Amino acid sequence: MTVSGKWNIEIKSPMGAQKASLDLKTDGGALSGTQSGQQGSQDISGKVDGNNVSWAVAITQPFPMTLEFSGAVDGDAISGNVKAGNFGSFPWSGSRG
């Protein structure tokens, strides 16, 4: 199953549901693209291993931190967890869109 494409995701954070869109591209085991949402648009880079994906995004609001995403693709669904520094990990999920 290819990870490449456009995805709409929702992160279940302590600040409420945070919606974002992903535009992902794969090249072998490398993942690249953009993540756009309330924090603006950021370039991402990460890894792909089969259906498993991981990437990091640096944000500045509400505080500067790096969000570390990990998850898996299952058909047209994608889900996983995001580690938000010292704030812990939160689930996220989405679908192709």
Domain of residue 54: give its range: 5-96
**56, burial (CB in 10 Å: exposed 0-12, middle 13-18, buried 19+):** middle
How high is the pLDDT of residue 1? 58
How many whole angstroms separate alpha carbon 25 and alpha carbon 2? 9
Q: Residue 29's closest CA among 53, 11, 13, 62?
A: 53
Residue 73 Ramachandran class (φ > 0 left, ψ -120 to 50 alpha, else beta): beta
How high is the pLDDT of residue 62? 74
pTM of the model: 0.91
How high is the pLDDT of residue 86? 87
Give how many domains the chain has, as a whole number: 1
Q: What is the mean pLDDT of each run of 10 residues along the chain (97 residues)?
A: 90 90 95 90 93 91 88 96 92 95
CATH number at residue 80: 2.40.128.120
How high is the pLDDT of residue 22? 96
Of the CA atoms within 13 Å of residue 52, those in its CB half-sphere come to 3
